[in-house]
């Protein structure tokens, strides 16, 4: 008899798990309460990149004369057309996922997935009916929503979430973004390019304050924001927001992460803006799943703990994706990989999830790609490392494109030369990081990269240049 597998959530974790389990012979049903594709397709990766594409193109129009093109008139942003394009692309991607599920012989159920008891799930339909679904194994892939801060809750008008930013009908004259992490920085560049006056407030002492992101990347991004007249305030926190008839009066004060000596000298300041966007975290969608009916306890923040095989404390119940929380890595491609591990373990294979070589892709302007250890992580671990960097301005292709900001950096083991981390800030960094990911995954050395021929003229030469420099054979770098 076929193994019965139920998956709750059809995001990049859920639908991949369903397809893989079905391909291995399981009878799979997937439940989704909203649209397939999860946060990534509907409220994150894809729609924000659609907006970024327009922002990039808009900036290029303004630079047209530098490239020998005389524009016929002044370009303008048509938000209605942009949003229509966004919807068209997302609709197409959703149809593609449904086609994959159908071809993969995965049964799809629209509605809210819940746990009824041991080995029994159910889908609650919009019409009030309930369909029970027995299972041998269950995969939870319900994801997250933007964290709503009680001090300044979302209203969709003056105080916005990242979801609201993806549905703007007009570009605000001015906007303050709370949080200089990945989402906050990406939107800061997008909105600034489209014409908004942007302020970013980050409670930590640098932008992109993630251990995995090298400090050098943060410095470049902050410098590029300054060039684009984006105001950056670090080591400070928004302490109060007062709505006015024209927008919001935002009070900025001491950060809870500030050094006490520095904090004592901080003077409050106020900034008046049309809108404020809060981009500081996510909340797990675990509270209404019925976890208590099978004795599965999330942690005190609602995240679901799992082992290396993606199995929870309850045998036969697995969890993948953002619902695992920041203890893992909350990225779409990580969720898809966790999905493969979970599905294959369910079907009798022995897989363990590895996180040491997960590439990060940050779509700022310029982009940031990272994988493996940052220099500061290596130092914390007490590792003896050598770090080498080369600027993009050394590349002919970067000069031809007019995108010379940024650098590539390799963190390598001092004794063996093994590549421990790669950090790229510059044009198409999110594509170029794939070579770094392969190097970290396979334990390649800097010499291995230096001995690899990189085509000319390409941006990929940055990896050739930085590895040549790292082996004492620097050419243009």
Question: How many angstroms separate the Cα of 74 from the Cα of each of 58, 64, 96?
Answer: 10, 11, 37
- Which tokens in the block code for residue 424? 């790229």
Sequence ranges of the domains in the chain: 4-146+283-346, 159-280, 360-470
Could you list the active site residues? 456
Strand partners, 146: 282
Q: Tens place of pLDDT for every residue, the chain, 477 residues? A: 699 999 999 999 999 999 999 999 999 999 999 999 999 999 999 999 999 999 999 999 999 999 999 988 888 999 999 999 999 999 999 999 999 999 999 999 999 999 999 999 999 999 999 999 999 999 999 999 999 999 999 999 999 999 999 999 999 999 999 999 999 999 999 999 999 999 999 999 999 999 999 999 999 999 999 999 999 999 999 999 999 989 999 999 999 999 888 888 889 999 999 999 999 999 999 999 999 999 999 999 999 999 999 999 999 999 999 999 999 999 999 999 999 999 999 999 999 999 999 999 999 999 999 999 999 999 999 999 999 999 999 999 999 999 999 999 999 999 999 999 999 999 999 999 999 999 999 999 999 999 999 999 999 999 999 999 999 999 997
How far is residue 358's CA from residue 437's CA, in Å, rounded to a whole number? 7
How far is residue 129's CA from residue 82's CA, in Å, rounded to a whole number? 38
| Choices 3.40.50.920, 3.90.1170.50, 3.30.390.30, 3.40.50.620: CATH for 360-470 | 3.30.390.30
How far is residue 67's CA from residue 401's CA, in Å, rounded to a whole number? 9
How many C-beta atoms lie closer than 10 Å to residue 314's C-beta?
Answer: 16
**Is the Cα torsion angle 438, 443, 449, 453 positive or negative in sign?**
negative
Q: Between β-strands 247-254 and 317-319, what pairing exists: parallel, antiparallel or unpaired?
A: unpaired
Which of 134, 250, 146, 231 minimizes the C-alpha distance to 192? 231
- What is the CATH T-level fold of the domain 159-280, as seen in this structure? FAD/NAD(P)-binding domain (3.50.50)
> Are both 4-146+283-346 and 360-470 of the same fold?
no
Residue 357: cis peptide before it, omega within 30 degrees of 0? no
Please state the three-class secondary structure of 68-105 as a single string: CCCCCCCCCCCHHHHHHHHHHHHHHHHHHHHHHHHHCC
3-state SS, residue 19: helix
How far is residue 375's CA from residue 25's CA, in Å, rounded to a whole number? 45
- Which tokens in the block code for residue 83? 């949003």
Sheet holding 407-413, edge to edge: 360-362, 367-372, 419-426, 407-413, 385-391
- What residues contact 92, with CB distance under 8 A and at least 6 apart? none
Q: Characterize 454-466 residue by residue with b for buried, 16 or more Cβ atoms within 10 angstroms of its Cβ, and e for exposed.
A: beeebbbbbbbbb
CATH class of the domain comprising 4-146+283-346: alpha beta
How far is residue 278's CA from residue 380's CA, in Å, rounded to a whole number? 31
pTM here? 0.95
How far is residue 409's CA from residue 424's CA, in Å, rounded to a whole number? 6
Placement of tokens 């170029």 in the chain: 432
């Amino acid at each position: 008899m076929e193994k019965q597998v139920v998956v709750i959530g059809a995001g990049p974790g859920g639908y991949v798990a369903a397809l893989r389990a079905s391909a291995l012979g399981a009878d799979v049903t997937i439940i989704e309460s909203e649209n397939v594709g999860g946060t990534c397709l509907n409220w994150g990766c894809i729609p924000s990149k659609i907006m970024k594409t327009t922002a990039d193109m808009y900036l290029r129009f303004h630079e047209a004369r530098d490239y020998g093109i005389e524009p016929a008139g002044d370009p303008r942003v048509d938000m209605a057309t942009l949003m229509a394009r966004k919807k068209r692309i997302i609709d197409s991607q959703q149809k593609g996922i449904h086609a994959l599920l159908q071809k993969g012989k995965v049964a799809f159920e629209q509605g809210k997935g819940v746990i009824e008891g041991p080995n029994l799930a159910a889908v609650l339909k919009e019409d009030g009916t309930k369909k029970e679904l027995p299972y041998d194994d269950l995969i939870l892939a319900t994801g997250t929503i933007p964290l709503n801060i009680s001090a300044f809750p979302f209203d969709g008008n003056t105080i916005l979430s990242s979801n609201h930013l993806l549905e703007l009908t007009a570009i605000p004259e001015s906007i303050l973004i709370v949080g200089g992490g990945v989402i906050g920085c990406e939107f800061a560049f997008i909105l600034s390019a489209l014409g908004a006056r942007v302020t970013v407030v980050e409670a930590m002492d640098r932008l992109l304050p993630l251990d995995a992101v090298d400090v050098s990347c943060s410095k470049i991004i902050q410098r590029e924001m300054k060039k684009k007249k984006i105001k950056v305030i670090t080591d400070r926190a928004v302490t109060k927001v007062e709505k006015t008839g024209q927008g919001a009066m935002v009070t900025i004060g001491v950060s809870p992460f500030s050094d006490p000596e520095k904090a004592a000298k901080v003077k409050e300041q106020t900034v008046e803006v049309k809108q404020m966007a809060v981009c500081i975290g996510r909340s797990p969608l675990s509270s209404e799943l019925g976890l208590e009916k099978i004795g599965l306890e999330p942690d005190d923040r609602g995240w679901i703990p799992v082992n290396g095989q993606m199995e929870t404390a309850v045998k036969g119940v697995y969890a993948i994706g953002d619902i695992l929380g920041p203890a893992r890595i909350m990225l779409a491609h990580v969720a898809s990989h966790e999905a493969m591990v979970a599905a294959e373990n369910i079907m009798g294979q022995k897989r363990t999830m590895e996180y040491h070589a997960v590439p990060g892709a940050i779509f700022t302007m310029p982009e940031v790609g990272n994988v493996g250890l940052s220099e500061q992580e290596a130092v914390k671990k007490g590792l003896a490392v050598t770090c080498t960097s080369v600027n993009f301005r050394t590349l002919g292709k970067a000069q031809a494109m007019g995108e010379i900001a940024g650098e590539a950096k390799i963190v390598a083991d001092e004794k063996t030369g093994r590549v421990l981390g790669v950090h790229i800030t510059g044009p198409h960094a999110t594509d170029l990081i794939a070579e770094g990911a392969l190097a970290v995954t396979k334990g390649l050395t800097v010499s291995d990269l230096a001995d690899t021929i990189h085509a000319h003229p390409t941006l990929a030469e940055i990896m050739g240049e930085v590895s040549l420099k790292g082996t004492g054979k620097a050419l243009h770098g």
